[in-house]
Amino acid sequence: MEIRNYQYQDEQSWVRCRVLSFLDTPYYDDVHREKEKYDHPSIELVAVENKEVIGLIDIEFDTDDEKICSIESQKGGMIWHLAVHPDYQNRGVGQKLMEEADELAGKAGLDYLEAWTRDQGNSASWFERNDYTLEDEYYHLYLTDEDMSHNVEPEDDTLIPMYMFAHYTGDNIEQFEDIDRKYKCMCYIKTL
C-alpha cells in the first residue's frame, strides 16, 4: 500500500472508494459523482494498492479570511472525507492515512483537526480511539412525506414535498420518536 497525494487521475477510483465505504453507514445516500474541489488550502491523501484507491482523507484548512472549523481563536482543519474501501477495512489503512495527515497538518501550522460524524456505525468510536474529543452534537432528521404531512404546506400546490433533511438543535428529540431515520451528529476535535 502506498499513501500519497491525490492526483486528478484518481478521481473515478476515489469516488468508488468513498461510495462503497459509505454503503453500510448512516451516510449511505451521501453520493457524489465527482470529488469535491476546495477553495482553501487542503490535505488530500489517498491510499493506493494495485493502482486503485482503497482509502482517502481530505482536510480543508481555515484561512485568515474565512473559518471553516469551530474554534474562532485557532487555525483548524476540517476533515471532509475519511473513508476506507470495505474490502480493506480493519487493516490499519485509515490509521495510516490519519497519521500522515496529522503530520502534514502540523507542518501546515494547524492547531487542531475537526470531524463530524453520526452516532451509528464505527466512526465515532474510531475518532475516540484516535485522541479526538467530543465537542458538540445535534440531530440529523430525514422526514418522509408522511412525517411532513402535518407540518409542511407550501403555498404552491404544484410543489409536493416528498422528503426533507433537517437539523434539530433542540432538547426535545423525543418529539421525533416516530421518525425512522434520525442520527445524532457529533463533532470531534483533536489538538495537534
**What pLDDT was estimated at residue 149?**
67
Query: Which residue stretches of the chain have pLDDT < 70?
Result: 149-154
Grid coordinates representing 157? 400546490
The three-state (H, E, C) secondary structure of 130-143, written as one string: CCCEEEEEEEEEEE
**What pLDDT was estimated at residue 186?**
95
Burial class from Cβ neighbours inside 10 Å (0-12, 13-18, 19+) for residue 10 reads buried
Grid coordinates representing 174? 423525543
| 2-137+185-191: CATH superfamily | Gcn5-related N-acetyltransferase (GNAT) (3.40.630.30)
SS3 187: strand
| Helix extents (H) in 23-156 | 93-107, 123-129, 145-148
pTM, 2 dp: 0.90
Domain coordinates in residue numbering, the chain: 2-137+185-191
Is residue 32 a contact partner of residue 54, using CB atoms and an 8 Å limit?
A: no
State the Cα–Cα distance between residues 46 and 5, nearest whole angstrom. 6
Secondary element (H or E) of residue 20:
helix 11-22
